[in-house]
Structure 1
């Protein structure tokens, strides 16, 4: 069971930043990130995953959306950890392949071979405008760009094949030969030359990917070692994993080369009542209008003007093509309708985990759900999204890890 600690911002809950005892500017402070890394390593996680959004989000005056560069943060965490794989997010839509190839390899060297790259195509319209586009290109076009960029990154790394670093001070020889120059041209522009950094002495960094559309899944099947996904039911999650494995076979890869990791939001405490009280307290701090705006953008449907305590106002068939994840949008709406949630309840659930699997209870409760998913073939592990950081990582280590250990070994680095 592969376990990554997700450490974006203050935590997975939209109101995490307003929790008592947490610095209101924590994600801008080095101590916050070092604490997250140390807690994750001490708890026994395999990896630490840091997302990124390259713009201010909706209602920035009412909610924090400032964000540091993920790879700079992970480089700092590298010095405070020894074992964790550190996976950073970088967009193929707005980064040149040369910069990506060098940045990811730089982290790989600084961590002793522990780096990973979460490949994203970006989705916010604010990001498009920041880089001179009137609107975000459609999914198919963004993934075509991603394909060209990733292949160019790989070509830059492959250029060092056979160019061994000898670093011989006596002879004055640095390499056995010069690396091959890479010529590539695509939507990103053009390249002609060699990367000034070799992957040696490590294997290539891990590729991770989180697309769930047919185009995104095919891309992941070709390139990813870990696939992150939003799932809330075992049957759907198993079907998703089966499809990833089928596509991997079509791409000439063995299914075991790809680990499918659904997101898991654990609200965990000594007792179920205490866990429910934690969630209720967090929900009480959320800004309803901020969450309403954010959910509306995610699903591509209006939510203003609807009664908060009436049934959710849309059906799954209402969801059309949007620049975010269409599959996640339909999942959020379908869950709201099938479980009979009011708009207020849907906003509360979205604030807690954005549609990911939410488990509220004791360590044994959370561990039981995790083992059920693994046994059913629905997951190879989980991206654990603590509601509040770093306290949620410590709570997972204190309550869930011992319960998992009672069932046998869990750690596995892919």
Structure 2
């Protein structure tokens, strides 16, 4: 009989924190972004808190004119290989672009990392966003949205076929002189619109069968791709209402695809500022917000909303935005800013601070008990199956969550006190494939 439903928690590792000005803090680790020991320390902290996984996003371009914030540094699969040796149970999830990788290349690297880590790997399959990234890979621009997702669909199918091309296969029969069982290894002979792959993979079957597939698409096409293939989904929701709408929609799509919605973990991003008192928590946020490049942030807010805030008093409330139907730019970010204004009634300074850390993901500020109250409310309402933690400042914000919030969640029976097994599939309650 299955035990009670419990939370899933990932730590989204990003530079020295998700607050865009965290690197400017005098105690930040900004000089250590190329030091793998720094990321190993973060992974061990997450593992100490029994978190399911650490997660790296990825990008394939850099704007050298943007000097006010940190950028990409270590390639994620390389970094995770080192982090696998520094940890024992924590999952290791990396972003893989279906637009730039070939399935064989990705399958081989991910399977290798799964062996290195003893079965702890997950892959967040994305289609990438920027033409600058495409120009790093020999293209003039990204293909249209629909074409990218069609390629991603085929990419996932080939990826899984390659992982399944071995049924065991390694005999090591010294007496009989056979290292391989040829009957357990088979080509896949894939012929599709985007890929031609004979196979089999050059890496034997993964310890957990296949790495866990994650997805983060918010569009109609992205949600349908997630419904068909994802085993966990990273989502964006500023408040519980938006989270419930997304979770309800995605679970219906998963069911329509013939899959059990209970086997797909929905994990919205979550920014937390935690203090032993409410005042301490808000002071931590204010300390980071004070480092923000206000002029750049105001300009960016204007792009998001189509409004001119250059003459707006930073400490005066922000007025409601016009109806979203009147905005011709990207709808998602506009809707998020609109929700923040309607639910928090922030001053301009406060709004810029919310957007600086997480860009509109759920934000919880307070004591361990009050943050745990909010997490429990979302979880029991069915708004999510857990969260993808987007700590404003590493390592301090992750230490705060692990040392203060996790024990409170454990006390309430909402989160594990030890790992249930050795693989990421074990931690997520998924069957080996």
Name the TM-score, length of structure 1 as normaliser. 0.91
1:17-32 equivalences under 5 Å are 17-32=23-38
Poorly superposed stretches of 4+, deviation over 6 Å: none
Q: Name which of structure 1's ranges 10-19 and 366-375 shifts more when overlaid on structure 2.
A: 10-19
The structural deviation recorded for 1:393 is: 1.2
CA distance in 1, matches of 2:308, 2:81: 40
What's 1:377 paired with? Answer: 382
Structure 2 spans left out of the alignment, 5+ residues: 1-6, 421-426, 429-433
Other structure's SS at 2:189 match:
strand
Does residue 150 of structure 2 align to residue 128 of structure 1? Answer: no
Of 354, 359, 376, which residue of structure 2 is paired with 1:354? 359
Q: Name which of structure 1's ranges 189-198 and 47-56 shifts more when overlaid on structure 2.
A: 189-198
Query: Does structure 2 retain, via aligned residues, the 8 Å contact 1:264–1:383?
Result: yes
Q: Compared with structure 1, are the counterparts of its residues 314 and 167 closer, same or farther at alpha carbon in structure 2 (3 Å cutoff)?
A: farther
What's 1:270 paired with? Answer: 276
What's 2:180 paired with? Answer: 175
Q: Name which of structure 1's ranges 225-234 and 304-313 shifts more when overlaid on structure 2.
A: 304-313
Please give the per-residue CA displacement for 1:230-284, whole angstroms capped at 9, x wherever unaligned: 1122222112111111111111111111000111111001111011111001011
Please give the per-residue CA displacement for 1:204-246, whole angstroms capped at 9, x wherever unaligned: 1111111111111110011111111111222221121111111
CA distance in 2, matches of 1:284, 1:88: 32
Of 200, 208, 227, which residue of structure 2 is paired with 1:221? 227
What's 1:391 paired with? Answer: 396
Q: Compared with structure 1, are the counterparts of its residues 48 and 183 closer, same or farther at alpha carbon in structure 2 (3 Å cutoff)?
A: same
The structural deviation recorded for 1:102 is: 0.8
CA distance in 2, matches of 1:47, 1:339: 31
What's 1:16 paired with? Answer: 22
CA distance in 1, matches of 2:268, 2:355: 16
Of 29, 38, 42, which residue of structure 1 is paired with 2:48? 42
Query: Does structure 1 retain, via aligned residues, the 8 Å contact 2:46–2:398?
Result: yes
Please give the per-residue CA displacement for 1:156-204, whole angstroms capped at 9, x wherever unaligned: 12222x3522222332222221622233344644323321012244321
CA distance in 1, matches of 2:193, 2:298: 36
Q: Name which of structure 1's ranges 340-349 and 139-148 shifts more when overlaid on structure 2.
A: 340-349
Task: Kindly report the root-mean-square deviation, in angstroms, between the aligned alpha carbons of the 2 structures.
Answer: 2.4
Other structure's SS at 2:234 match:
strand
1:137-286 equivalences under 5 Å are 137-160=143-166, 162=167, 164-177=169-182, 179-186=185-192, 188-286=194-292
Query: Does structure 2 retain, via aligned residues, the 8 Å contact 1:267–1:275?
Result: yes
Query: Does structure 2 retain, via aligned residues, the 8 Å contact 1:59–1:290?
Result: no
Structure 1 spans left out of the alignment, 5+ residues: none
Please give the per-residue CA displacement for 1:103-143, whole angstroms capped at 9, x wherever unaligned: 11111111100000011111123212323444333332221
Name the TM-score, length of structure 2 as normaliser. 0.87
Q: Compared with structure 1, are the counterparts of its residues 109 and 301 closer, same or farther at alpha carbon in structure 2 (3 Å cutoff)?
A: farther
Q: Compared with structure 1, are the counterparts of its residues 187 and 95 closer, same or farther at alpha carbon in structure 2 (3 Å cutoff)?
A: farther
Query: Does structure 1 retain, via aligned residues, the 8 Å contact 2:320–2:338?
Result: no
CA distance in 1, matches of 2:306, 2:100: 27
What's 1:327 paired with? Answer: 332
Please give the per-residue CA displacement for 1:364-408, whole angstroms capped at 9, x wherever unaligned: 111100000111011111111111112211111111012112211
CA distance in 1, matches of 2:339, 2:47: 36
Q: Compared with structure 1, are the counterparts of its residues 201 and 345 closer, same or farther at alpha carbon in structure 2 (3 Å cutoff)?
A: closer
Q: Compared with structure 1, are the counterparts of its residues 140 and 335 closer, same or farther at alpha carbon in structure 2 (3 Å cutoff)?
A: farther
Other structure's SS at 2:400 match:
helix
